[in-house]
Structures are given as C-alpha cells and as structure tokens.
Amino acid sequence: MYRGLFIIVLLAAEVSAREIAPFSTDGCSVFPNGTVEQRELWLDCCTAHDYAYWKGGTYGERKRADKDLALCVAATGEEEIARMMLMGVRVGGTPFLPTPFRWGYGWPYLRGYKALSAAELKVIRQSEGAPIAD
C-alpha cells in the first residue's frame, strides 16, 4: 500500500512540475521602469526580479531577489527609488495574494514558499531553451 502511495506522490510531483506558465514580465509592475528622462533606467533590474519571482522558491530566495533588485536600482544612482521599490516588493510580492506579480507567479496560485524540486528545475531549464541532462 505504501509503495503505491509513494508512486502516486512521485507522479503528482512530476505533473505539478509541468504546470509553470511561460516566463512573462510586465517590467516594474505598478512602478515606473525609469525616470522621465531615462524611461527604462532600471527596467533590466525589474526584468531580472520578475524572472526570480516567476520561478519562485523559498522565502530566503525571495528575500535575496528583493535585495538584488534594490542593489541593482541603487547602482543606477537612484538609491531612494531603490528603497521605495524594496518596501513595495516586500509588501506586495507575497505569494499569498492572487496578483500577477506575486512570488512564484509562474506556478498555480497558492504554491507559497517551497524549494524548487529537481523536476521543476528541469522544466524551468527546458523553458529557457537549455539542454537537459538527465
């Protein structure tokens, strides 16, 4: 009986690994992509942040992604903007709100904080066009 249950759990994990939507980005979501003079000044920072949020993962990985966003924006010379963005993503990026920019938005809603499995990482690499080694 336990062996059958174990197999069902493994199959369910493999099926859920295939449920990630293709990567998409809306830039800096509900925040400008740059200044009036330089309209896309920190857009690359937001795109990298969106990629991390799309994949999701653990709470620690989210904190790191948010800190990386702030460091990237600060490197454009906009330290105050970086602090505001950090506050915004820490509050608004929770995986428990049904927003299109939540942590793990590539996965079905309510995934929460969960380490990516080997099968999920494989699906992510495939979606990036990377060769897959088994």
For 37-60, what is each residue's pLDDT tens digit? Answer: 999 999 999 999 999 999 999 999
Percent of the chain scoring above 70 in pLDDT = 82
Percent of the chain that is helix, strand, coil (3-state, to 5): 50, 0, 50
Q: Please tell me the distance from the alpha carbon of residue 74 to that of residue 96, in angstroms, as a whole number.
A: 28
- DSSP strand E in the chain: where? none
Q: Is the pLDDT of residue 27 over 90?
A: yes
| Close Cβ partners of 3 (under 8 Å, ≥ 6 residues apart) | none
For 84-122, what is each residue's pLDDT tens digit? Answer: 999 999 999 999 999 999 999 999 999 999 999 999 999
Please report which confidence band the pLDDT of residue 15 belongs to, taking 50, 70 and 90 as the band edges: very low
Domain residue spans of the chain: 2-120
